[in-house]
Amino acid sequence: MKRIVTIMFLLALIGVFTMASTEIPVVDANLPENLETATFGLGCFWGSEAIFGGISGVYRTSVGYAGGTKVNPSYYSLGDHTEVVQIQFDSSVISYEELLELFWLSHNPYVNYKIQYMSLILYHNEQQKETAEMFIDSKENEAGRKAATEVSRMTEFYRAEDYHLKFYLQRDKEILNDLLRYYEDIFALNDSTVAARLNSLLAGKGDPDLMKNEYEDYGLQNRALEKVREMLF
């Protein structure tokens, strides 16, 4: 009888730990359904990811290579691909055109950079294509000159190497390791809104008012939470 009770207790204990390990921060557990995807190239993707990750309506960000033809590119063998940020957003909160406006203001779209850092909009559907083309036409008419931004169909997105992902968050090991309690590795943070927000905050980007309203639900423990609080207030 004692043996059975002991086994049942151990099974229950394992169940508790399993439940705890699968819990995620409140912000990550309450993502809207039917998120849309946008992909932009606007220079080094470290900064690009930080720009978009801290704004209302954007829930996931990732960095990688796209726009070219080389199969399985890498940072040191990029071929004809561009560094891009891929975003998942709720269009009922932020429109694709508003994302384009942020894209436009966050780099110089009139400069012909090399392919790796070029100004690039990769559309995921015909509506995005039409919106992007109309947006650029409007900006060119306002400026009285032609933009260097290219608009192309999105084909394959190749995720960047681990050391590029959430670059600014990775530089703060205390906050990073606190968040990784919920996730198996750095790649899993691509699905985390909290990671996108913290990466933006640590880069000095994003909407501080948004993060002031959210940060207590980021699932951070005392030391990391206090560090975030000090940056916001």
For residues 147 and 110, what is the distance between their CA atoms, to the nearest angstrom? 4
Q: At what angle do helices 45-53 and 193-202 cross, to 10 degrees?
A: 110
| Active-site annotation holds for 44 | yes
What is the identity of the amino acid at 80? D
- Annotated catalytic residue: which of 35, 44, 147, 210? 44
Measured torsion, CA atoms of residues 141, 146, 148, 149, in degrees rounded to the nearest 10: 30
CA distance linking residue 55 with residue 35, whole number of Å? 15
CB atoms near residue 2 (< 10 Å):
6
How far, in Å, CA of 170 to CA of 139, rounded?
36
Round to whole Å and give the CA distance between 215 and 207: 12
Look at the block and give the residue holding tokens 């080389």.
70
Q: Name the helix (H) or strand (E) containing 110.
A: none
Please compute, for residue 160, the number of CA atoms within 13 A of its CA located in the half-sphere on the CB side.
26
Task: Quote the CA–CA distance of 9 and 145 in Å, as a whole number.
Answer: 73
**What is the DSSP secondary structure assignment for residue 217, as one 8-state letter?**
G
Return the active site residues.
Answer: 44
